[in-house]
Structure 1
């Protein structure tokens, strides 16, 4: 048997062992109560699918699926970058509420990160946070070549924003006038339960197999996902009662993530360090938000980032887990509205909101 074959077999066996031992034991220690009452039972989670669609091709040839909502000629563009094992639909509630809030003053752009959702697969060695920052720059160049921009990133999307800030500092504050980092971290997630799983050598063996024996490793998709799926599932939400429809929606996105994407980006989350990007983000108003029950990117990560950003607002959502923007969307939505009002030099958005509020109050 070749060395590569031996490493693959070790990876497959090791992953199964890890999945049944460490991952499951950690998952069992996390609580999540699904509510019997479901306020989102009839929610249309396909809202983004009806928006204007386009494809942005990166310099290395990867097609990124893009959706656009709002007036194409709006004076401000807000661009959303989603997290690990998710898709642009993770911002469903923000898309719905903020369209109502901002009207024609703001255009919103959403896209699937490489290897996720409707976007194309890419060479495994490009599944890293630095490349995601470059992909964001490509999306901005095509979708928002003019005018001020606010960036919103959740989880790995927040790392994407930090990576962009580090690599393209001259865009701040000339083009990028504000940013939101939601349930994210500036450096590797070794201090979380996820970090404990990442330390297991079996994952490195699976990563090797993904790169060098992709057809074979596909057969162990279930075993490989058993390492991380219990953690993602249990840590997605806090200890409050959660809508089963929302849980089903988020888990559908996770289950749709290809095994290569999952394993490679897991490694990227472990080793990334985008703390240098904080120096650039310090130039613009920022929102740092997270749930106090977030076990993937614990609250301390957000507090550290907020401490490094003099123009930041720190929002800690009580009882919320990692998918805070899906679990308690109203709080995140309100904070995003305030960020845009702080970041928009013309104050047009703030003026529009005040006029709308006055009409509502008089009505």
Structure 2
């Protein structure tokens, strides 16, 4: 079921729900930068219907949504494209759609950073409602090089100079989507975002979602991502089950970022998926589903006792 909610500043957010509304546990899925809720669809469907990867898990309600400036949610001025606003949006999604009951948060990439920022800005909400957290292909800081996609030296300098000229031009600011033919993006996106031998669905979903992204979303959110430092906020999750996941071939948030999170949350579980890239929710559907399902089972068990 799809619906639309409106945030405190008037921004409309596209939301999709699946699974029974009366389920004992709700999972909230937050997607990454330049993506939208479609990237979580395989995991959401698996959790909601209880596939083999979620065996033994009680019926689960799943809520996923498009961040502001992404997908079918409203665009917003560049000054409002911040992790702080994404965290406040997440709090409003919870308040409006999941006002009670155990809650498992799962954030991919920028969605994971928004989840950390939620802990920083709304610690009481996390303390009272959140029973488990999945941090998927994300980082708690140190992303100063994200704007150059990992390049250094002269290549980085040349890339930034070209990027600044492009993003200031009307060819960039007036476009409604990055590309009209997703297949043309494959040559650039597959080696950057996907691991070794990705399946067709992972490639197609990645290219289609990013092709639909507004160009100003790419440039507008870059500053908040490169400034992100969420190490201290991770302490709010301590004492709760936390699943940290990363692909061994992730070029945007390599395993060292996952280990940095684990250093702050030594009781968390860390999974490195061999040969996988950054797009774990579509590359490793069963593995990601299984780990989120474990958080759901823990939440349901805690509630039962």
TM-score normalised by the chain length of structure 1? 0.73
- Tell me if 1:203 matches 2:157: no
Equivalent in 134, 137, 141 of residue 88 of structure 2: 134
Asked if structure 2 preserves the Cα contact closer than 8 Å seen for 1:116 and 1:258, the reply is yes
Number of the residue aligned with 1:277: 233
Contact 2:195–2:250 (Cα < 8 Å) also in 1:
yes
Q: Mapping of 1:261-272 within 5 angstroms?
A: 261-272=217-228
Q: 1:237 aligns with which of 194, 203, 215?
A: 194
Q: 1:207-262 CA distances to partner (integer Å, 9 max, x unpaired)?
A: 5x2xxx75774369879xxxx996644222112x2222331221010010001111
Quickly say closer, same or farther: Cα 1:160–1:342, change in 2 above 3 A: same
User: In terms of mean alpha carbon deviation, does 293-302 or 171-180 score higher?
Assistant: 171-180
Are 1:143 and 2:97 matched, yes or no?
Answer: yes
Aligned to 2:69: 115
Alpha-carbon distance in 2 for matches of 1:342, 1:120: 35
Q: Verify: 1:172 aligned to 2:126, yes or no.
A: yes
State which of 265, 272, 278 in structure 2 corresponds to 1:316: 272
Gaps of 5+ in 1: 1-51, 352-363
Gap regions ≥5 residues in structure 2 = 180-184
Runs ≥4 residues deviating over 6 A: 219-223
Task: Report the alpha carbon displacement of residue 72 of structure 1 after superposing the two structures with TM.
Answer: 1.0
| Aligned counterpart in structure 2 of residue 336 of structure 1, from 292, 301, 304 | 292
Separation of aligned partners in 2, 1:145 and 1:248: 35
Greater share of residues in helix: 1
Q: Are 2:10 and 1:61 equivalent residues in the alignment?
A: yes
User: Is 1:251 the counterpart of 2:217 in the alignment?
Assistant: no
Q: Tell me, what secondary structure is at the counterpart of 2:127?
A: coil
Residues 4 and 14 in structure 2, CA contact (< 8 A), matched pair in contact too: yes
Q: Output one character per residue of 1:280-317: Cα deviation in whole Å (capped at 9) or x when no partner.
A: 11132111001010000011001110121133110110
Instruction: State the distance in 1 between where 2:37 and 2:173 align.
Output: 27
| Paired residues of 2:25 and 2:299 also in contact (CA < 8 A) | no
Instruction: Please give the alpha-carbon distance, in whole angstroms, between the structure 2 residues aligned to 1:95 and 1:220.
Output: 28
Aligned partner of residue 109 in structure 1, secondary structure: strand
Distance 1:297 1:158, change over 3 A: same
Once the two structures are superposed, residues 170-201 of structure 1 have per-residue CA deviations (whole angstroms, 9 ceiling, x without a partner) of 12332111111000001142356614359724
1:142 offset after TM fit, Å?
0.4
1:83 aligns with 2:32: yes
Shift of 1:266: 2.3
* Whole-angstrom distance in 2 between the partners of 1:75 and 1:245: 31
User: RMSD in angstroms over aligned alpha carbons?
Assistant: 2.6
Q: Distance in 2 between matches of 1:216 and 1:133?
A: 27
Secondary structure in 1 matching 2:100: coil
Matched with 2:22 is: 73
Q: TM-score, normalised by structure 2?
A: 0.86
Rate the CA distance shift 1:289–1:220 in 2: closer, same or farther, 3 A: closer
